[in-house]
Amino acid sequence: MGTECGARERLVEVRHAITRATLEAGRAEDAVTLVAVSKTFMADEIAPVLEAGQRVFGENRVQEAKTKWPGLRERFAGVELHLIGPLQSNKAREAVQLFDVIETVDRDSLAEELAKEIPREMAKTGRAPRLLVQVNTGEEPQKAGLAPHEVDAFLGACRDRWKLQVEGLMCIPPADQPPSPHFALLRVIAQRNGLKTLSMGMSADFEEAIQLGATHVRVGSAIFGHRG
């Protein structure tokens, strides 16, 4: 698509900025994974970014991902797809089949569904998604995710009651606050629970997130341009 010709160049710039921030933070060069957030963009707008070598992508809706990604996966090997939007329990099966990482586990009813669907998918295909727990660090009523004080107990239940292996945490800081205290809080919660994956930082603030220990940054508009 004519207007998306810049996506490749922007991808290169974002990659350079990530590398720079990672090295400046004194971290290993490959410590941070770029999740390219392709929500709302069509398969023909995503393809050039795949051609440029990007393989890890984020989508926020199960239905939308289902229309775009099976075809793209046939054309490009090695895609890793992350669900970064809220997951309804009745879509858990589809999400387990479609995604490699579910970043938005945030409540008992969803954990219970995943505990049914993940072993089923494992038995059928030998693969299952990795899981992150979403934390509502700003305790915003309209936002998904667990309140910070609920996380330790929820992680305990995932482990002991549902036998789910959680790999890390994800957060979306409030839009109207400096993000750094939220990134720092997410890291503290992860550290005390022995979790090593931290998905935090978007187009506007991924460098600060890397400074504070992000292992995954979710960058959309800085690569794909503004969403219509």
Ligand X SMILES: *Cc1c(COP(=O)(O)O)cnc(C)c1O
> Does residue 128 contact residue 118 with C-beta atoms inside 8 Å?
yes
Long-range CB contact pairs, 86-92, < 8 A, 24+: 86/60, 86/144, 87/62, 89/113, 91/62, 92/116, 92/117
Please give the structure tokens belonging to residue 156: 């305990």
DSSP string computed for 41-91: --HHHHHHHHHTT--EEEES-HHHHHHHHHHHHHHSTT-EEEE-S---GGG
- Least distance in Å: CB of 77 to ligand X? 25
- Least distance in Å: CB of 36 to ligand X? 9
Instruction: Give the C-alpha separation, 154 to 145, whole Å.
Output: 11
Site for ligand X in 99-158 (CB under 6 A): none
Q: Applying CB under 6 A, which of residues 11, 84, 96, 133 lies at the interface with ligand X?
A: 84
Site for ligand X in 172-201 (CB under 6 A): 172
As a whole number of angstroms, the longest Cα–Cα distance in the chain is 52
- Least distance in Å: CB of 200 to ligand X? 9
Chain position whose Cβ is nearest to ligand X: 220
Q: Which is nearer to ligand X, 52 or 144 (CB)?
A: 144
Site string for ligand X, 201-220 (x = CB under 6 A): -xxx-------------xxx
Question: CB atoms < 10 A from the CB of 77, how many?
Answer: 8
Site string for ligand X, 41-70 (x = CB under 6 A): -------------------x----------
- Least distance in Å: CB of 15 to ligand X? 14
Please give the structure tokens belonging to residue 128: 């299952």
- Least distance in Å: CB of 112 to ligand X? 23
Query: Which residues of the chain form contacts with ligand X (CB under 6 A)?
Result: 37, 39, 60, 84-85, 172, 202-204, 218-222
